[in-house]
Structures are given as C-alpha cells and as structure tokens.
Amino acid sequence: MEVLLARPRGFCAGVDRAIEIVERALARYGPPVYVRHEVVHNRHVVEDLRRRGAVFVEELDEVPEEAVVVFSAHGVPRRVQDEAAARGLTVLDATCPLVTKVHGEVRRHAREGREVVLIGHAGHPEVEGTIGQYEAEAAPGGAIHLVEDEEDAERLAPRDPQRLAYVTQTTLSVDDTRRIVAVLRRRFPAIQGPRRDDICYATQNRQDAVKRLAAACGLVLVVGSPNSSNSNRLREIAAAHGARAHLVDDASQIDPAWLEGVARVGVTAGASAPEHLVEEVVTWLRARGATRVAELEGPAESVRFSLPPALRA
Ligand code: SF4
C-alpha cells in the first residue's frame, strides 16, 4: 500500500494567526483568556488551548468584567463588537482578514442601499458574523438573504433586482458556488459582486489538491473535525471525484476495514487541522502495511497575516 499526501493541506494563514493570537494572549495576560466560539473548528486545537488556560464561550454574557476576550477566526456580528466595546473588555480580534474583507463589502453594500445575497451555510458562525454586519449598517427596509443552493437562488425575490449584490462564505465548494452565482447572474443581470466569489486562497488550493488526490487514490482520508466547513467540503469533493472518502478527527477514527483492497490511500487535512494529526495518520497507515509515502505536486503557500498591534511585540 502506498500513501499520497495532498499539497497544500492543513493550516492556512488565518488559522495560524488565530491560534497564535490565543497563545500570545495567554503569555501576555495570563489565563484565563476567554475565546468567543471555538477559535478554529478543530477539536484537538481547542482542547490543547483549553488545557493551557483558554475558556471557550458562545456569548459575551459568559465573559466576566475586565476580562480578555478573543473573537474567533470566523468573525462576529457587529452587535458583539459593540457590546464588547461598551463593556470595556480587552478584545483581541482573531477574525481572518479574508473574512474581514467580506464584512467590509457587506457594510458598503448596506450603506449604498443594496440588498445583499450571502451564499453560505445556515448556522455557521462565519455566516452569522457576516449577516450581523449588514444588520448593523443597513437603512430600514434593507435585507440580507441567505442562499444555500441553486434552488434558493431560483426562488429569491429581492425588493429591487437593480440594487442587489452578493458575497460568499470563504470556505464553500468552489464548483457549487460557481453554479449558484451563475443562477444569480442569469436572474439578476445587474447584481454586483466580486469577480467570481469570496472563497479564500486556502480553500481553493485545498480543493484543487484533493481533486488531484482523488483521481490517484481509491481511498481519501480528510483530517478535520465534523464542524469544519472546509474539511467537509474536501471530503465531499474527494467523493465526487471518484474516491471513497472519510473525514476523521485523528488516526483513532480510521476503520481498518476501509483499507481492504486499496492500493493507494490519499491523505489531506482541512485548514484548521494541525500537521501532527496528519503525521499520526501516516504512522497508523505504515503500521498497517504502507511501504511508501509521497507528496503530490502542488503550489507552495506563502500568505502571512499580521497580528493585532497589542500582540506584536
Ligand atoms: S480558511 Fe480561508 S478564510 Fe478561513 S481562516 Fe483560513 S485563510 Fe482565512
């Protein structure tokens, strides 16, 4: 049995930055440091930070006065930013700059009187944060519409199709999103939006890589947590491109029966999954007969985001 690793895989620049913000906050202010929502969607990362003194909460009313609070990489609605400021909390914003960019687009469209279509998944914290930017900025009567699939796009009934814009969640399937945008552009030719979508470089690169991996492997293992949007998309894309595909949090979740009759196993990892989990999966596969481990060709990533000024020194 042979193992092929996708390239790129695992941590993106936004996740690297978010974890570093929590680590530096713990070092600088000492525990506890409160983190609103899982800083990134990975069970192992969250458990590790919790052991070191991070306290994960879902809402700010769980954060005591004068505490230090980190906003997760997914971003927060404006009401949360305003509430933290009003309470005088020390805020360290780990929102990925590529999500912040989408927030800016939404606020601009709201100010300029457009309704906005947000292509994304209901209930995901990034979607809640992005919707909350519009709600804070829009004039009365303005609306932001969540569209999850092509059927939603076909049913959409905006107030004024001439004053309409779209944005997208950053971690969607590139191919699904392209189809949804095509429906919107056909139905509403005047719609404004990014040239293609707001899907980030890391999501795009990992999806391209998993397509190459699935073409070469009978089985693809995606390392990532079940609540990680981009990891779920990798599993779906691998399955759609002909491989049997499973999402696993770590090596302990691999079922040995999956390997039966498989000559080549592909391994990749979502943008929030640390590389040591991939290494453990490879070790597990070696223990079960993998004799060769190789990495597929793929682009190198050099994106880095700067830390908040308070943590730079
Ligand atoms: S997946 Fe993309 S948008 Fe999300 S944190 Fe990483 S770089 Fe930022």
* Domain CATH code at residue 38: 3.40.50.11270
Q: Are 37 and 115 part of one and the same domain? A: no
Q: Is 72 in the pocket of ligand 1 (CB under 6 A)?
A: no
306 falls within a domain: no
Q: Where are the alpha helices (DSSP H) in 112-259?
A: 125-137, 150-155, 174-187, 201-216, 229-240
CA angle 249, 253, 256 (to 5 degrees): 140
- Among 96, 116, 144, the domain-final residue is 96
Q: Kindly report the pTM of this predicted structure.
A: 0.97
304 domain residue, yes or no = no
Residues 245 and 275 grouped into a single domain: yes
Measure 303 CA to ligand 1 centroid, in angstroms.
Answer: 11
Domain-ending residue, one of 184, 199, 214: 199
Residue 12 Cα: closest atom of ligand 1: 6
Nearest one of 302, 305, 300 to 8, comparing CA atoms: 300
Same domain, 102 and 190: yes
Going from the C-alpha of 3 to that of each of 78, 80, 107, 111, 256, the distances in angstroms are 45, 45, 46, 51, 15
Exactly one of 126, 128, 137, 148 is catalytic; name it.
126
Under 8 Å between Cβ of 96 and 39: no
Whether 302 is in a domain gets the answer: no
Last residue of one domain, picked from the residues 54, 77, 96: 96
Exposure on the CB side of residue 289, measured as CA atoms within 13 A: 9
- Same domain assignment for residues 116 and 73: no
Question: What's the whole-number average pLDDT of the chain?
Answer: 97
Confidence check: pLDDT of 126 > 80: yes
- Going by CA atoms, what residue is nearest to atom 8 of ligand 1? 14
Q: 207 C-alpha to center of ligand 1: Å?
A: 13
Total count of domains within the chain: 3
Measured on CA atoms in the order 104, 106, 107, 109, is the torsion positive or negative?
A: positive
Q: Supply the residue whose CA is at minimum distance from atom 5 of ligand 1.
A: 14
Q: CATH code at 131? A: 3.40.1010.20
Sheet holding 115-119, edge to edge: 144-147, 115-119, 164-168
**Ligand 1 center–CA 104 separation, angstroms:** 16
Q: Is residue 305 part of a domain?
A: no
30 and 43 belong to one structural domain: yes
Q: Is 166 helix (H, G, I), strand (E, B) or coil?
A: strand
Angstrom CA distances, 86 to 19, 65, 81, 123, 230, stand at: 26, 11, 9, 26, 34
Residues 103 and 186 in one domain: yes
One domain for residues 193 and 123 = yes
| Length of the chain in terms of residues written | 313
Residue 251 DSSP symbol: G
In the reported structure, the alpha carbon of residue 193 is separated from the centroid of ligand 1 by a whole-number distance in angstroms of 19
Place of tokens 């609306």: 143
The tokens 């052991």 sit on which residue?
Answer: 51
Q: Are residues 119 and 75 in the same domain?
A: no
> Do 148 and 240 have their domain in common?
no
pLDDT band at 9 (very low <50, low <70, confident <90, very high): very high
User: What are 148's strand-pairing partners?
Assistant: none
Q: Report if residue 164 sits inside a domain.
A: yes
pLDDT classification of 186: cutoffs 50, 70, 90: very high
Whether the Cβ atoms of residue 169 and residue 198 lie closer than 8 Å to each other: yes
Any catalytic annotation for residue 126?
yes
Q: What is the pLDDT of residues 210-254, one digit of tens each?
A: 999 999 999 999 999 999 999 999 999 999 999 999 999 999 999
Do strands 68-71 and 54-57 pair parallel, antiparallel, or not at all (unpaired)?
Answer: unpaired
Assess whether 22 and 64 both reside in one domain.
yes
Enclosing domain of residue 243 = 2-11+201-295
| R_g of the chain computed on alpha carbons | 21
Put the strands of the sheet holding 2-5 in their side by side order.
Answer: 244-248, 219-223, 264-269, 2-5, 292-295
Identify which of 15, 39, 93 to mutate to test ligand 1's pocket (most ligand atoms within 8 A of the CB). 15
Q: Is residue 300 part of a domain?
A: no
**Are 49 and 121 contained in the same domain?**
no
CA distance 249 to 95: 23
pLDDT digits (tens, 9 = 90+) for 188-205: 999 999 999 999 999 999
To test ligand 1's pocket by mutation, which of 20, 98, 197, 268 has the most ligand atoms within 8 angstroms of CB? 98
Paired tokens of 29: 């202010």
Q: Same domain for 273 and 253?
A: yes
Q: Is 21 in the pocket of ligand 1 (CB under 6 A)?
A: no
Q: Which residue has the tokens 């000024």?
A: 309
Give 59-100 pLDDT, tens digit per residue.
999 999 999 999 999 999 999 999 999 999 999 999 999 999
Which residue's C-alpha comes closest to atom 6 of ligand 1? 14
In a domain, 27, yes or no: yes
Mean pLDDT of 241-270: 98
| Tokens (6 digits) for 73 | 């990489």
Q: What is the mean pLDDT of residues 33-56?
A: 97
Q: Is residue 199 lining ligand 1, measured as CB closer than 6 Å?
A: no
How close is the Cα of 200 to the center of ligand 1, in Å?
A: 6
Look at residue 313 and tell me whether its pLDDT is greater than 90.
no
Identity of the residue numbered 66: E
Q: What is the pLDDT of residue 48?
A: 98
**Token pair 């190459």: residue:** 212
Does residue 170 fall inside a structural domain? yes
Whether 206 contacts 138, CB under 8 Å: no
How large a percentage of the chain has pLDDT more than 90? 99
Hey, whose CA ends up nearest to atom 2 of ligand 1?
200
Ligand 1 mean position, distance from CA 40 (Å):
10
Peptide bond into 32 cis (omega under 30): yes
Show Cβ contacts of residue 298 under 8 Å, excluding neighbours closer than 6 positions: 6, 7, 8, 205, 208, 209, 212
Average the pLDDT over 120-130 and give the result: 98
Residue 135 above 80 pLDDT? Answer: yes
Q: What strands lie across the sheet with 54-57, from one edge to the other? A: 54-57, 33-36, 68-71, 90-93
